[in-house]
Amino acid sequence: MQPPENNQEELIKRYLDGQCTPEEAIALYEQLQASGSQRALLAVMQAEFGRLMSAPQEISPAISNRIETRLLQEIGRGRVVSLRARYRRIWAVAAGLLVLIIASGILIFLNKKSVTVPPADMLADVAPGSNKAMLTLADGSVVTLDSSGHQIIQQGQTKVQQVNGQLQYDAAHKEAAIGYNVLAVPRGGQFNVVLPDGSHIWLNSASSLKYPTAFSGNMRQVELQGQGYFEISPDSRQPFVVKVNDMEVQVLGTHFDIMAYNDENETRTTLIQGAVKVKQGRAEKVLKPGQQVAVDNSTGAFSVVDADIQEVTAWKTGFFEFDNANMNTIVRQLSRWYDIEIDNRAATSGRRFGGRISRNLPLSDILHMLESNGATFKLEGRKLTVGSAAP
């Protein structure tokens, strides 16, 4: 049955209390997905959290689990993204919380004031990124790769197969000539490649990887620009080396992430599994799983910190993840993934956000969520102007 509009808020409260029948829950979910129906949900969420803001530090796990688990538990399975426990902690300066249920994700914004319902007028939309890249072969020819591609590329005796968003190199014959390929992923794209030794590398948007069509000698070496996630096949006789500008990451067999965008303040190498040695000039550090080396791109300063692995690798699994991130940090990621130009001269850097949401959403959904938390935007074509926000 379809719940009437004037009963919707009461029905949401009943659902949170576990009192809805499955039929009522399904009907409620369908109505919430209809245009404009999130306002009722927002009203209930604001009321639910408004009572909690008098507590200076903590939302109880019971309440947090109630919101996360009970809300759309049966009817939204597969759509709701589980939030980690640390997002349940509210900083002492916070005075409001907003929970938005949109398409395939939940995003929690932490703010200094109470939130308002998003404006009714829709922003212009930009589709999310997709699997696409350009492959430059050893002879200089260029092959266009996209999500739907199925093709075999022959380079002498080296065969490369594309299946959807992945390239697969066959193990080269001993007599095969060695050439260098460059896999370049544009803004608004992602792609992954399996090298001849079986190593698997995922490239984020605005990234490129240069690598040989076969590995010989006493070292396997590739060059990265942008961001890549590496799963390296172990071979003690041929250590694997990733060159990033004047930095080297040396590994035998392991899983790690390198983020080396020119527009970021730091180049970061994060170890997920195994061991790597990071060398920058005379400085070097052997990492343990869960550690991250950050190199300041301006000064070359070298630091080692404990990393949030789930946040670092979120892009590879299809998510944005923000932890106490300012607007400038967020829009740089949006710029690369949605292939848009950013004017953030008026952005308020002091405002912080945290949460996790699918990268498969159209840009308008994410902008509406940020607007609901006080940010302002103007999107004209593919140019996004970030306005100042109230403190």
Residues 6-32 pLDDT 10s: 566 677 667 666 676 766 766 666 666
What is the crossing angle of helices 363-372 and 327-338, to 10°?
Answer: 170
CB 276 within 8 A of CB 256: yes
Same fold for the domain at 5-120+316-387 and the one at 130-312? no
User: To the nearest whole number, what is the mean pLDDT of the chain?
Assistant: 75
Q: What is the pLDDT of residue 94?
A: 28
CATH number (3.55.50.30, 3.40.50.1100, 3.30.390.30, 3.20.20.210) of 5-120+316-387 reads: 3.55.50.30
Report residue 41 as tokens: 């949900």
Residues 136-171 pLDDT 10s: 999 999 999 987 778 898 887 788 999 888 999 987
Confidence of residue 324 (pLDDT cuts 50, 70, 90): confident
Q: What is the pLDDT of residue 16?
A: 64
**Of 90, 101, 34, 113, the residue nearest 67 (C-alpha):** 101
- The structure's pTM equals 0.70
CATH of domain 130-312: 2.60.120.1440
> Using CA atoms, how far apart are residues 197 and 172, in angstroms rounded to an integer?
9
Confidence of residue 132 (pLDDT cuts 50, 70, 90): very high
Residue 114 has pLDDT above 70, yes or no: no
Confidence of residue 33 (pLDDT cuts 50, 70, 90): low
SS3 labels along 101-161 = EECCEEEEEEECCCCCCCCCCCCCCCCCCEEEEEEECCCCCEEEEECCCEEEEEECCEEEE
> Using CA atoms, how far apart are residues 80 and 183, in angstroms rounded to an integer?
34
CB 225 within 8 A of CB 242: no
Report the phi/psi class of residue 346: left, alpha or beta, with left for phi > 0 and alpha for psi in -120 to 50: alpha
> Among residues of the chain, what percentage have pLDDT more than 90?
39
In the chain, where are the structural domains located? Answer: 5-120+316-387, 130-312
